[in-house]
Amino acid sequence: MPARLIESLATTEPLAEIFSDQSVLQAMLDFEAALARAEARVGVIPESAARVIRNAAKADAFDTTTLAAEILRAGTPGIPLVKRLTDRVRAKNANTARYVHWGATSQDVADTALLVLLKKAQSILNSDLARLQRALKKLSHEHKSTIMLGRTLMQPAPPVTFGLKAAAWFASVNRSRRHLDDAFAEALVVQFGGASGTLASLGKQGVEVTRNLANELNLGVPDAPWHTQRDRLAALLCSCGVLTGALGKMARDISLMMQSEVAEVAEPGGQGRGGSSTMPHKQNPIGCSFTLAAAQRVPGLVASFLSGMVQEHERGVGGWQAEWPTVASIIQATGLALASTAEVAEGLSVHKTKMRAHLDATEGLVFAERATMLLGAKLGRDVAHRIIEEAIRKNKKQKRHLVEVLIEIPEVTQHLDLKTLRHIEVPEEYLGSAEVFRKALLSSSRKTKKK
């Protein structure tokens, strides 16, 4: 795994590979090679020069340790990279060396390389998003009739279905995915502006070279260079923050339901997964832990990026230099949360009997609202509320079901018959529009954004 030990709880192997030294270096070299090909296509540099530059732009020929030290000294990756690449090209063909990095500036290299990496990361995120959505939809369908306690402010509330809960998770993830897709589409545009964003060094051919460069790298073409306009990237990272928060909410729910005294669901386990170094009996919510850790880290990282948006004129001092590690951390944390949550959802065990037992253990208290509404239709809500409150006090003191207490209250039996009273605590009859809402949440995947 390319990640260091200290990063092993903050990324996945595929994303660690994307943001590894070799991958980042190759992305910068890919920019230089693509630029040469784009310029050769319109006659700015010779075709033979583009071929030499392309052949020299191979990451395995560079010493990343030395390059990293030089980048720190230069304050930008572009300067030492271009110098090293130029030396390699000169060794192959002295006359071609003059065409390396023709018309570009250091930030063009760094920004476009970052976009190349983000485009690769997008496919990984999308793959795990699809896994997660499939798993949540399956859970929702399978448990559309699995009744469980609703919980408000961490306390028992009227019943819901686990299918509805899973559908709500699905819809939140789905909305976040649509925003993320839009943000990627907006952000993945090439950066090529030259010294101060006018491409003056290329004369009238700057726009055509930009189009060719974008085509070479499979990126979009912006209206103009965007050196210090960081709003597209900011929107992308904010979308990651929202998605990670949505995943964190799901992880929080599941981890609470996994507590041994609750035991309504369980993460998939396996050798080396979810154990304890001292307590062999434990099955810890490891997948949820990774997701919650990411959900705690990402908002601060997003805020860090947003604070760096205030950049000076045509080239920033400090704000731009702060971005690379921040962006890489956000994308990797988001990816870890996605992969972890997808694994949890795909292997989640749902314990229906436990869910029902917790509902029954309330001795009907969670149906107090239903009793109040039925009686309120006859006596008015305020009177009904007073009667039910008194019944609840007896219920708690005597450890009897709410219905048993209600049957003994004349004010109740005068207006509600025995059959109605005995059905108050039937959860299947007090789910309201749960199934309608569940279906609507799942169908949200077919809705498109309004223009």
Taking the chain, what is the end-to-end CA distance rounded to the nearest angstrom? Answer: 43
How far apart, in whole angstroms, are the C-alpha atoms of residue 334 and residue 241? 8
Considering 151, 315, 356, 400, which one is annotated as catalytic?
Answer: 315
Known active-site residue 349: no
C-alpha distances out from residue 185 to 25, 221, 400, Å: 24, 11, 60
Residue 101, number of CB atoms within 10 A of its CB:
22
Distance between CA atoms of 162 and 254, rounded to whole angstroms?
A: 11
Amino acid (one-letter) located at 358: H
Tell me, what amino acid is at 246?
A
Q: Which long-range contacts (CB under 8 A, 24 or more apart) does 179-183 make?
A: 179/239, 179/242, 179/243, 180/125, 180/129, 180/236, 180/239, 180/240, 180/243, 182/239, 182/449, 183/232, 183/235, 183/236, 183/238, 183/239
CA–CA separation, 15 vs 240, rounded Å? Answer: 15
Distance CA 159, CA 153 (A): 15
SS3 category, 157: strand
Phi and psi at 152, nearest 5°, equal: -125, 135
Q: Which of 276, 307, 349, 433 is catalytic?
A: 276
Other beta carbons less than 10 A from residue 162's beta carbon: 22
State the DSSP H helix or E strand holding residue 312, giving kind and residue range, or none if neither: none
Q: Answer whether 163's CB lies under 8 Å from 181's CB.
A: no
Residue listed under structure tokens 């208290």: 365
444 is catalytic: no
Look at residues 445, 447, 435 and name the one whose alpha carbon lies nearest to residue 164. Answer: 435
Cα separation, 144 vs 345, whole angstroms:
16
- Strands (E) across 144-247 are located at 147-152, 155-161
**For residue 219, what is the enclosing H or E element?**
none
Cα distance between residue 375 and residue 360, in whole Å: 22
Catalytic positions are 276, 315
